[in-house]
Amino acid sequence: MSQLKYKRVLLKLSGESLMGNQSFGIDPAVLEHFADEVRAVKEMGVEIAVVIGGGNIFRGMSAAAKGMDRVQADYMGMLATVINSMALQDALERKGVFTRLMTAIKMEQIAEPFIRRRAVRHLEKGRVVIFGAGTGNPYFTTDTAAVLRAVEIEADAIFKGTRVDGIYDSDPERNPNAVKFPEISYIDVIQKNLRVMDLTAITLCQDNSLPIVVFNMNEPGNLKRILHGENIGSVVTLQN
C-alpha cells in the first residue's frame, strides 16, 4: 500500500461503455472486463467505489429533449443506473469480491440506502462499494453524483474510465491530429470546453482539490498501472 499513488479512489464509468459493440443494453464481455479490472485493484489493497451511468438503458436528458417531463425522465435514468450497478455487483461477487450496493433512492429489497459513514466503513472493511441512482435528485448528472460521492468518502482521486487514453483538444477518434493534455487545470478544462465532465462536476472537484484521472478503461491493466504511479491518461488538478 505504501507504494501506491492513491489509496482510496472512486471509479466513474459511463453506461454507454457497457454496451460494447451493441446498440443497447449490457455486453457480458465488457461487464466481465470491468469486474476483472476492479477485482485486480481490490487485491492490491486499494479501497475502491464505483459509479456507473445509465445511458446504455435510458438517458433522461435525451428523453426530455423529445418532450418527456424532465423530472420524470431523470428519475427513470436513475433507475437505469441501478440496473447497471446490480449487474456489476453480480459480476464482482461471482469473482469472489465482497460488495455493497448503496442507492440515493431507497429500495431496501435490493440495496442499502446511502449513508456516508456506512459507505466509508464498508470501504475500510475491504468491500467494493457501488453507488447507484445518482444524487437522488433530478437535473444532476452521474458525473456530478460521482464527484459528490468521491468528496463524501474522502477519495484521493476520481478515475474516469473512457474509450480514449486521456484528454484531448478534440475527439481523437475523429481527428488524428488531436493534441493530448497529460496534465491540465480545472480552469483550462472549463475555458477550453473540453467536456471531461459537466461544469457542476468540474467545479465541485476544483472546490475540493479532487484530482480527476481520465484514462482508457478498455486497456487491460491500466487501472493498476495508474495506481502504481505510471503516467497513463490525463490528470486534472489545480495547476497544469
Q: What is the pLDDT of residues 77-111, one digit of tens each?
A: 999 999 999 999 999 999 999 999 999 999 999 99
Task: Check residue 60 and give its pLDDT.
Answer: 79
| Whole-number Å distance between alpha carbons of 191 and 52 | 27
The per-residue pLDDT for 2 is: 59
**Residue 3 included in any domain:** no
Supply the CATH number for residue 169's domain: 3.40.1160.10
Query: Average of pLDDT values for 204-210?
Result: 97
Distinct helix (H) and strand (E) counts, the chain: 8, 11
Which residues touch 125 (CB under 8 Å, ≥6 apart)?
none
DSSP annotation of 204: H
Q: Tell me the per-residue pLDDT of 123-170, one tens digit each, with 9 for 90 and over.
A: 999 999 999 999 999 999 999 999 999 999 999 999 999 989 999 999
What's the pLDDT at 238? 87
In a domain, 167, yes or no: yes
Amino acid 64: pLDDT = 83
The pLDDT score that the predictor gives to residue 173 is 86
Averaged pLDDT of the chain? 94
Q: Which has the closest alpha carbon to 185: 147, 236, 233, 232?
A: 236
Can you give the residue range of the structural domain that contains 104? 8-237
Please tell me the total count of domains within the chain. Answer: 1
pLDDT confidence of residue 1: 56
1 falls within a domain:
no
Q: pTM for the complete prediction?
A: 0.94
**What's residue 112's pLDDT?**
97
H-helix or E-strand spanning residue 226: helix 222-227
Query: Please, which pLDDT band fits residue 63 given cuts at 50, 70 and 90?
Result: confident
DSSP 179: P
Would residue 165 count as lying in a domain? yes
> Looking at the domain assignment, is residue 227 inside a domain?
yes
Buried residues in 32-54 as b, exposed as e (16+ CB within 10 A):
ebbbbbbbebbeeebbbbbbbbb
Q: Which helix (H) or strand (E) holds 152?
A: helix 142-152
The answer as to whether 229 is a domain residue is yes
Quick check: 239 pLDDT over 80?
no
- Nearest Cα to Cα of residue 16 among 134, 143, 162: 162
Range in 55-69, 174-188, 204-218 the model is least confident about: 55-69
2 occurs within a structural domain: no
Cell 428519475 appears where? 75
167 DSSP β-pair partners: 181
Q: Residue 102's Cα: distance from chain center in Å?
A: 15
Rounded distance between C-alpha atoms, residue 51 and residue 132, angstroms: 7
